[in-house]
A and B are shown apart, each in its own frame.
Chain A
Amino acid sequence: MASYVLRRLALLALVVFLAITVNFLLPRAMPGDPVETQLAQMSAGGGQTGDLAATAAAMRARMGLDQPLWRQYLLYLANVLRLDLGVSVAHYPERVVDEIAAGLPWTIGLLGTATLVSFALGTLLGGLVAWPGAGRLVRALSLPLILLSAVPYFVLGIVLLAAFAIAWPLFPVGGGYPFSYFPRADWRTAGLIAYHGVLPALSVVLASVGTWAIAMRGMVVGVLGEDYITLARAKGLGPRRIFLAYGLRNALLPQVTNLALTLSHVVSGAVLVEVIFAYPGLGYRLYQAIQSKDVFVIQGIVLLLSVSIAFATFLLDLAYPLIDPRIRAAHT
């Protein structure tokens, strides 16, 4: 068990280290000088530029670009560890960390809920479809859901937005709460936030339920052939008990691995859903930062996404032996 945890921990450390390093190296490896670009942007915007050479030298010194690369890297590492990710260029004095902190709860709330719901629904649906006693309704339901699972989340989001916010205005067109509303910590605010989250969450759920269902179906079909199912049937256990405790329970394990493996995929997709619905999470902020070429905000959000997914995968990996006693036994 200890060696399992240690190995996972090493992988986590490697991913975090790589994410930070890539984040540091990529912009520097690209052709072009950030200072020149910045100055060009400033003068194009009609700002006061004065002596360009002096300004450029001053900016280089302030950004630490006049230092050797290894010192820049160490400085960057130290800054990241102190959560100093620089300041936003578009909203000048605001720190990137604050910008991220403002968006993070929205993304975690939306994505966490949507992923849990679709994982639970899809797993149950996939299990039911594979079960011989499944009703016709379940089977009829699974085909469209599997087809939808092929479509990118945000493409489905566009259709949902057009259908249920424009053509038939059941839900708001976007935002986290009404535009002219000041959020407070009360039930009314919570209700409004949930109301605004329905369509974005629905696009993630509808587009991913099918994926879970397909994977689960395969697993349950495999489990059905096992001897312990025959034994359970011979013991005279009821079909529901066999399905839940013997079928689902054992097919669930690889499904959790799937969750860990596809988490990054889900996050990538959800970023765009936020854009479609102008949802105030990290994805929409990333989009806005790209529009305004706000380099430090882009880098900060990208870094946070990579690191937090690495952590989530690590936690799922740790949870895995808790659900599967066989793994625990193999690693003790």
Chain B
Amino acid sequence: MRRVWREPLLVGGVAILLVLALAGLVGPLLVDPGLAEIGAVRPRRPPNPANWLGTDTQGRDVLAALLLALPQTLKIGLLAGLLGLGLGGLLGLFAGYLRGWVDAVIRTAADVAMTIPAIAVLVLVATNVRGMTVGLMAVIVASLAWMYPTRAIRAQTLSLRERPYVDIARLNGIGGPRLVLTELLPNLAPYLAASFVTAVSSAMLATVGLEALGLGPQNQLTLGMMLYWAQYYGAVLRGMWWWWLPPVAAIALIFMGLLAVSAGMDRLLNTRARVEG
């Protein structure tokens, strides 16, 4: 555990994400949600003492909208990441533990799903769904966030099941589900954590992309929807930097934090592998 603190990337990334999560938790309590409604304030005003980040053309306060959008976007990412990890981890475990034709089917499915561009399937689903919500968005996006966890967990399970301590457990008469639960899962934990980060990251990327195309929850505020409206009303072309810059900066920070965490975890796992190997 102490080694965790010695990975500056991991600590830095987690810190960024924690600050954002905190802002998302506390922010909605500090601002009046009414300010993020359409027509709540005078439209098209640059930042001023009353509206710290200015207002958009629809008459929303950008700061209020940002603070309300942040937790929604994080919620989608977290939810979709958990779903993707759950599904992917389970499939990977099955494939790696059972091998044979189960492995062949699951591996081919993951390969095929990785070849088809996520955005294509998502666009198809999202255009046919009426009344998109944040929760539904998470489920749709999660349906394409399971491939990387599947591959990673499968590879680790394949290598773990050949370890001597698994053999000993097997010789002691522990078999099937109990073996998986007591011997394999605890040792998979760090890889599950790493897969979780990639799952969240790919889910988040898909979410923001779909929303920017206009397929997000039209009546709810998320960072991607903020970008969509900014793009729709030509915020960049009108030079209204205070409108598009906050969501852009927030999205960039989230992804940089996720990248730092996953790079840090990677190094942690690799040193562990070197020490143990």
Contact = CB atoms under 8 A, between A and B. Distances in A.
Interface of A: 11, 14-15, 18-19, 22-23, 26-27, 30, 32, 146-147, 149-152, 154-155, 158-159, 161-162, 166-167, 173, 214, 261, 264-265, 267-269, 271-272, 275-276, 286-287, 290-291, 293, 295, 298-299, 302-303, 305-306, 309-310, 313
A23 B121 CA distance: 8
Given A161-B236, A162-B236, A309-B116, A151 B212 contact: no
Nearest to B151: A261
A15 B227 CA distance: 33
Interface of B: 108, 111-112, 114-121, 123-125, 127-130, 205-206, 208-209, 212-215, 227, 231, 236-237, 239, 241, 244, 248, 251-252, 255-256, 258-259, 263
A245 B244 CA distance: 47
Contacts of B117: 264-265, 267-268, 305-306, 309
Contacts of B205: 152, 269
Contacts of B239: 162, 166-167
Contacts of A151: 251-252, 255-256
Given A26-B128, A264-B118, A14 B108 contact: yes
A305 B120 CA distance: 7
A166 B215 CA distance: 27
Contacts of B128: 26-27, 30, 32
A97 B205 CA distance: 29
A159 B252 CA distance: 11
Contacts of A276: 231
B259 A150 contact: yes
Given A22-B116, A155-B248, 10 more contacts: A15-B112, A22-B124, A26-B121, A149-B259, A150-B252, A152-B251, A166-B239, A298-B123, A302-B120, A309-B116
A19 B116 contact: yes
A200 to B, nearest CB: 14
Contacts of B116: 15, 18-19, 22, 264, 306, 309-310
5 contacts: A11-B112, A158-B248, A264-B116, A271-B213, A305-B120
Contacts of A291: 214
B123 A275 contact: no
B112 A166 contact: no
B252 A155 contact: yes
Contacts of B248: 155, 158-159
8 closest A-B pairs by beta carbon, nearest first, are A150-B259, A30-B128, A268-B119, A264-B117, A150-B255, A302-B120, A150-B256, A268-B117
Given A158-B248, A290-B215, A26 B124 contact: yes
Contacts of B256: 147, 150-151
Contact of A310 (B115, B124, B208, B213): B115
Nearest to B262: A150
Given A32-B130, A268-B119, A302 B124 contact: yes
Contacts of B237: 166, 173
B123 A286 contact: yes
Given A286-B213, A290-B127, A309-B115, A152 B208 contact: yes
A199 to B, nearest CB: 12
Contacts of A272: 209, 212-213
Nearest to A260: B115
Given A26-B128, A261-B114, A275 B231 contact: yes
A271 B252 contact: no
Contacts of A310: 115-116
A214 B262 CA distance: 13
Residue with the highest number of chain A CB atoms closer than 10 Å, among B117, B231, B252, B259:
B117
* Max chain B Cβ within 10 angstroms of own Cβ: one of A14, A147, A162, A287: A162
Contact of B115 (A166, A214, A293, A313): A313
Contact of B124 (A27, A166, A214, A269): A27
Contacts of B213: 271-272, 275, 286-287, 290
Given A158-B236, A261-B114, A309-B116, A152 B209 contact: yes
B127 A295 contact: yes
Nearest to B258: A150
B130 A14 contact: no
A109 B213 CA distance: 22
Nearest to B257: A150
A153 B205 CA distance: 10
B269 to A, nearest CB: 13
